[in-house]
Amino acid sequence: MSNIPTPHINAKAGDFAQTVLLPGDPLRAKFIAENFLENAKQVNSVRNMFGFTGTYQGKPVSVMGTGMGCASIGIYSYELINFYGCKNLIRVGTAGALTPKVNVGDVILAQGACTNSNFVRLFGLPGDYSCIASFDLLRKAVDAAEKLKMNYFVGNVLSSDGFYAPRGNVTTTWTDMGVLAVEMESAALYANAARYGANALTVLTISDSEFSGHITTAEERQNTFTNMMKLALQLV
């Protein structure tokens, strides 16, 4: 703990709960803190990547933005695990549909995360690592989704480095491989959690679909999609 505050987090020792919700958007972190947590206190403001700690139904919980992409969540998840002792990291974010069977507003529980990012290769493994969620968190999330009667899917997502990435000449697509949705962070989160001894799960809401043509606004993504937040908080 002698390495805190870090270059990216100015919280003090003990400011973060062991369970942290990780939205990409710091304004979504602020929204969750103000609308779901009791006695929320801001614990981080570096780079306007807001972090808060409060309680939910009497249990300590934190929420903090991570920015976009594997590189960004890789920094924040590393520091939260290794410097602040966080044990359960739950990403809550949005994703684009990669299959017509999921619709805008559906919840995705990311059992695994495929990726085109180089992040996982930086660990120097002698092969390709399968980035998977914590089974305990995933099982609890499925139980919570059933209890809350949500329309949800469990399966693979794609963590892509490119938001506007060109498709290129491909013969097999992620859709062909049964991947449900595309986002930008889960593979790095799962890899860091595995390497440094924490639990991780990504809970996503489908925000757009090229199959239906439905695209949500930035304001809708920031202030709505509360089902995934309610579900994530059941895991605290």
Two structure tokens written together for 217: 């606004």
208 is known as an active-site residue = yes
**145 three-class SS:** helix
Crossing angle of helices 26-36 and 226-233, in 10° steps, is: 70
3-state class (DSSP) for residue 132: strand
Q: How far is CA 155 from CA 34, 54, 177, in A?
A: 31, 31, 11
Q: How many CB atoms lie within 10 A of CB 34?
A: 11
Instruction: Assess contact for 183 and 71: CB atoms under 8 A.
Output: no
Q: Which two tokens stand for residue 78?
A: 């590393």
**Alpha-carbon dihedral sign for residues 58, 138, 231, 192:** positive
DSSP 26-81: HHHHHHHHHHH-EEEEEEE-GGG--EEEEEETTEEEEEE---SSHHHHHHHHHHHH
Residue with tokens 């684009």: 96
Active-site residue among 15, 25, 106, 208? Answer: 208
- Cβ-contact 74, 188 below 8 angstroms: yes
Active-site residue list:
208
